[in-house]
Structure 1
Amino acid sequence: MGRGPSIEARKNAQDAQRGKIFTKVIREISVAARAGGGDPAGNPRLRAAIDRGLDVNMPKDVIERAIKKATGELEGVSYEEIRYEGYAAGGVAVIVDCLTDNKVRTVADVRHAFTKFGGNLGTDGSVSFLFRKLGVLSYDAGADEARITEAAIEAGADDVVVYPEDGAIDVITAPEAFAQVKAAMEAAGLAPGFAEVTLRADTDAPVSGETAEQVRKLLAWLADMDDVQHVYSNADFGAAG
């Protein structure tokens, strides 16, 4: 199973696109609150969305306003959840999760991106079978492996993965256990540097040279779109240098 981007790379990307991140988080909060209610204590998806907002220093009043709009206390916009699947250059599988108020616009934009960078948009299920949903709590090099492993096992995590190339550690959980494990790790004084419920591929697609560059550009282009919440791929850039 391939490893995602480093914590530093993820954080740098967030800092560089603070406005866009805010847009995405507000949409996620809105959909989560509309689907499961405005109380994060009884709505794990909303709790995760609020945590993501706080992680990027979103003001609490902005978060509260988004919840009120979603629950009808304030007038707001209704967003639809849509997933697109396709292949990038080199046979790299890509999943694009969107929240949009205009499906026609979004599918046109996503299709254009795939075409522009040598890929093609597929049908539902065309690549999703290559991925599995899981919770990931990431720790940078230098973290206490023994303490993390012991606490993770006690908290109910599925696995602890140590990456020998840099000593970073991932704690892997079932999606439904993510919030519980994260809370337990934080209570043990082991707050992760980055934590999310994500999709990871069981097999990677190595790419290099011009193909790798095309794939990078497609993934970046998609991630930069306001309607796009998450982009997942099985690209392995290890051979690209």
Structure 2
Amino acid sequence: MGRGPSIEGRKNAADAQKAKKFTKFIREITIAARVGGGDPIANPRLRLAIDKALTANMTKDTIERALKRGTGEGATEQVVEIRYEGYGPGGVAVMVDCMTDNPTRTVADVRAAFSRNGGNLGTSGSVAFQFTKTGEIIFDIRETPALEEKIMEVALEAGADDVLSEDGFIDVLTSPDSYLGVKAAFEKAGLAPIDSDVVMRPATRAALDGEAAAQMNKLIARLEELDDVQDVHHNADLPA
């Protein structure tokens, strides 16, 4: 009878995933500070990046070092931001946000991920118009449906743009600038979301199933494995 991964093996895998996530947070904090300055109060992008890092339990010392790199007080690296756009299986729109010190390497890796998983890299602007930058705060109320009214009340009082309810889930939508304020209002009210972030929200979704869905999942996984990739956005409606 086969044995699964050892406890040590699972821990090492989890540690590797955590280290990769922290690397992405450090890059985002560094770039945000370089572009908009090191004061989180005056720099909404930096404030959001720090919030994500703290939520993932990154230490304040690590955050401070990333900040100093961004403002030129620490070691610097020539990292640039690049967004690649393309199409996945079934014509799904895909955007890939990268931070890299070697764009030639990065575009080759991204192009290979698309071509090997039923997609193709497009030109700049080919799919971006289908997405809007939006704050999303998601609640699961399947076991506590009575919370719906309270969530809606807090959301609207805090300045959310919209509240969508479907199949026991509530999706609170905000502008990027008001996202952290709305999120803080929920925390103050003792309401914990299952997920929250500022995302590129698609105007419509493309339903996939069968082989197309399997290929799309492989494409997403491969892109997310690439060291230079920060975020992958798409409009696929994939089976659970």
Q: Name the TM-score class by shorter chain.
A: 0.7 to 0.9
Name which of structure 1's ranges 190-199 and 55-64 shifts more when overlaid on structure 2. Answer: 190-199
SS of residue matched to 2:125: coil
Larger Rg: 2
Query: Counterparts of 1:55 and 1:121 in 2: how far apart (Å)?
Result: 33
Paired position in structure 2 for 1:52: 52
2-structure distance, mates of 1:138, 1:231? 19
Q: Which residue of 2 aligns with 1:67?
A: 67
Gaps of 5+ in 2: 1-13
**Matches of 2:63 and 2:127 in 1, distance apart?**
34
CA distance in 2 between counterparts of 1:76 and 1:60 reads: 19
How many pairs does the alignment contain? 225
TM-score (normalised: structure 1):
0.88
- TM value normalised by structure 2: 0.88
Report the equivalent of 2:8: none
1:16 deviation in Å?
7.3
The within-5 A match list for 1:177-196 is 177-196=178-197
Mapped pair 1:168 → 2:169: yes
Aligned equivalent of 1:7: none
* 2:37 alignment partner AA: G
Would you say the 8 A contact 1:20–1:224 is kept in 2? Answer: no
Shift of 1:194: 2.3
Other structure's SS at 1:170 match: strand
Contact 1:222 1:231 in 2 (8 A): yes
In the TM superposition, what whole-angstrom CA distance separates every residue of 1:194-239 from its partner, at most 9, and x where no partner exists?
Answer: 221101112111111111111100011111212111101111123x
Q: Within 5 Å, which residues of 2 pair with 1:45-194?
A: 45-141=45-141, 142=143, 144-164=147-167, 167-194=168-195
Partner SS, residue 139 of structure 1:
strand
Corresponding residue number in structure 2 for 1:4: none
Matched position secondary structure for 1:229 = strand
Larger RCO (alpha carbons 8 Å, 6+ apart): 1
Q: Distance in 2 between matches of 1:173 and 1:106?
A: 32
Partners of 1:194 and 1:37 lie apart in 2 by 28
Q: Distance in 2 between matches of 1:148 and 1:139?
A: 9
Counterpart of 1:201 in structure 2 is 202
* 1:87-107 alpha-carbon deviations (Å, 9 max, x no partner): 011111101011111111111
Q: What is aligned with 1:217?
A: 218
Q: In structure 1, how many angstroms separate the alpha carbons of the residues matched to 2:40 and 2:188?
A: 19
Q: Which amino acid aligns with 1:101?
A: D
What one-letter code is carried by the residue in structure 2 that aligns with 1:174?
S
Distance 1:193 1:15 in 2: 22
What SS does the aligned partner of 2:57 have?
A: coil
Give the superposition deviation at 1:193: 3.3
CA distance in 2, matches of 1:48, 1:181: 13
Larger CA deviation: 72-81 vs 18-27: 72-81
The alpha carbon displacement at 1:35 in A equals: 1.1
Q: Could you say if the C-alpha distance between residues 192 and 65 of structure 1 is closer, same or farther in structure 2, counting changes exceeding 3 Å? A: same
RMSD, aligned α-carbons:
1.8
Shift of residue 81 of structure 1? 1.1
Once the two structures are overlaid, the 10-residue window that deviates more, 214-223 or 180-189, is: 180-189
> Shift of the alpha carbon at 1:31?
0.5
Alignment correspondent of 1:37:
37
Structure 2: distance between partners of 1:41 and 1:137 = 21
